[in-house]
Amino acid sequence: MTRAAVNGGPSDVRRRGAGRGNALLGLAGLCGFLALIEALPRLGFVSPDHLPPTSSIAAALAEETSDAAFWTALGDTLTGWALGLLIATAAGITAGMVISIVPYLREATASTVEFLRPIPSVALIPLAVLLFGTDLRSTLLLVVYAAFWQVLVQVLYGVQDTDPVAEETARSYGLGTWARIRHVLWPTALPYVMTGVRLAAAVSLVLAITAELVIGAPGLGARIAVAQTSHAVPDMYALVAVTGLIGVLINAGARAVERRSLAWHQSVRGEVSP
C-alpha cells in the first residue's frame, strides 16, 4: 500500500483537485490573454501592422514549425541554455562551497562578489564578440556570467544557514571536511541551491535569447532579429511566443526537479512535524 493511501486519502484528493483547479484557472487566463490580443487589433485599438491578431500569429507559428531551419534554431538555443546552465551550476556550487569552507575567504570575496554580481551580462557583449565572434561560445559567456551569480549567492546563503549545533555535533563526532559537506552542509544548502538553479534556468534562457538577438549567434534570438528587421511582424510574435513557451516548460521542469530532489524536506512535504 502506498504512503499516500495510508496518510489519509481525503487531503491528497483535495490537493490533487486544487492542482487541477489551478491548471484550469491558468488555462482560462491564457485563453483570455489570447482573446485580448485577437480583439485589440480587430477593434482598432492598435494597428494590426504593429500587433497582429492571435490568429495570424498562430498561422505564422504553424509556418515556422514546418521549416527545418526553425528546429535547428530551437536546438541551438536549447544547447546554449543547457550548456550554460550546467557550467554555471557546477561552477556556482563549487565556488560557493569553497568560499564557505575556507576560513576568511567569504569575508575576502564578499565585496568582489557584490561588485561583479550587478554587472549586466549584456554589458559583456563587446568582450564576447572580441573573444569568440558570433558563435555559441559568445552566448555561453553571457549565459554563464548571468546564471553563475544566481547559484553562487544561494549556495553562500544556504551554507550560512547551517545549524551550528549540527555542525558542532558533526565536528565532535570527528567527521572530516568532506563528510561534513556531504552530511551537514549540502543537505542544508540544497533547498537554496535548488532555488538558485531554478532562477538560473530562467535567467539562462533570457540571456541565451538576448545574446542571439543582439550578437546574432545562431538560435531563436537571431531568427527573431531577422524577422524584426524584415518587418515580418506576425513571424516575430510567433517566435517570441515560442520563447515564452520554452520559459513555461523550463520553469515547470525546474519545479519538478526541485520537488523530487527535496522530497524529504519539510518545505515540500508540507507537514510540520511537531
Interface with another protein, residue 129, by CB under 8 A: yes
- CB 243 to another protein: min, Å: 16
Q: Which stretch binds another protein (CB under 8 A): 129-137, 146-154, 168-176, 194-202?
A: 129-137
Rg value, the chain, Cα: 23
Identify the CA nearest to 154 among candidates 198, 121, 208.
198
Segment near another protein (CB under 8 A); pick from 92-100, 182-190, 199-207, 226-234:
226-234
Told to check if 76 binds another protein by CB under 8 A, we report no
Neighbouring C-beta atoms of residue 110, cutoff 10 Å: 12
Decide if residue 82 touches another protein (CB under 8 A).
Answer: no
Instruction: Considering only residues 156 through 175, tell me which ones interact with another protein, judged by CB under 8 A.
Output: none
The total of other beta-carbon atoms located within 10 Å of residue 107's CB is 9
Distance CA 195, CA 185 (A): 16
Among residues 78, 67, 211, the alpha carbon closest in space to that of 146 is found at 211
Does 226 sit near another protein (CB under 8 A)? yes
Which residues between 18 and 47 bind another protein (CB under 8 A)?
Answer: 47
If binding is defined by CB under 8 A, does position 131 make contact with another protein?
yes
According to CB under 8 A, which one of 49, 118, 164, 263 is a site residue for another protein?
49
**C-beta of residue 207 within 8 angstroms of C-beta of residue 143:** yes
Q: For residues 181, 183, 188 and 193, what is the CA-based torsion angle, rounded to 10 degrees?
A: 60
**Are the beta carbons of 52 and 233 closer than 8 angstroms?**
yes
Contact range with another protein by CB under 8 A, out of 92-100, 131-139, 193-201, 247-255 = 131-139
Side chain identity, residue 14: R
Closest to another protein by CB, 67 vs 168, is 67
How many other CB atoms are found less than 10 A from the CB of residue 58?
17
Joined grid coordinates for residue 157: 546563503
Give min distance, CB of 206 to another protein, in A.
17
Task: With CB under 8 A as the rule, give the number of residues binding another protein.
Answer: 27
- Of 27 and 123, the one with the shorter C-beta distance to another protein is 123
Which residues bind to another protein, rule: CB under 8 A? 47, 49-50, 125-127, 129-135, 213-216, 222, 225-232, 235
